[in-house]
Amino acid sequence: MDKESAKRFEEAVTTILELIGEDPKREGLAKTPHRVFKAFKHMCEGYDMDPKKVLGDALFESSNDEMVLVRDIEFYSLCEHHLLPIIGRAHVAYIPDGRVVGLSKIPRMVNIFARRLQIQEQMTEQIADAITETIKPKGVAVVLEARHMCMEMRGVEKINSTTVSSALRGLFKSDAKTREEFMSMVNAPLRPRY
């Protein structure tokens, strides 16, 4: 973001502070517009990332044709309706078809889409589609479990309610045994870390 955009963003935050009855010049708030700008720049950096490029830079030939699962990937996003946090975990699996992707790219893929204004259902689909289109595996499965602060802090105020969404592609959608294996791996108890 250029300096002019940053200035406009900070002015907008100052206006919001004034409209809610605060004094943006008081000591505790004097630097808040700049801090909020920096926070949003970080929380929305996914718009500047190309998922296909990130995944495409780490594809490797492999004879493996068994499920690869990266589970319990923590993510933080912002609800596009209220700009309030979404806090959750992602479980992402794929079945290679001649190529595998570097394992660190799967959590990075989650972050790319989490760091955009989102709804959980859309984010789940975007992760699955990006992996499907780039790696071209035999199947992809994505499950997101998240708490939405727009439900907990306002509105119905249902604390600790969790939303679960899934996106299944290829074998995960067409083969019940593959889908069951994925779900049993996702739901298996955590073991002590190595």
Residues known to be catalytic: 79-82, 120, 148, 150
Instruction: Provide the token pair at 73.
Output: 């990937």
DSSP 137: -
Q: How many angstroms separate the CA atoms of 95 and 98, rounded?
A: 10
CA 17 to centroid of chain Cα atoms: 29
CA 183 to centroid of chain Cα atoms: 20
Nearest to 76 by CA among 67, 86, 91: 86
Burial class (CB in 10 A: 0-12, 13-18, 19+), 61: exposed
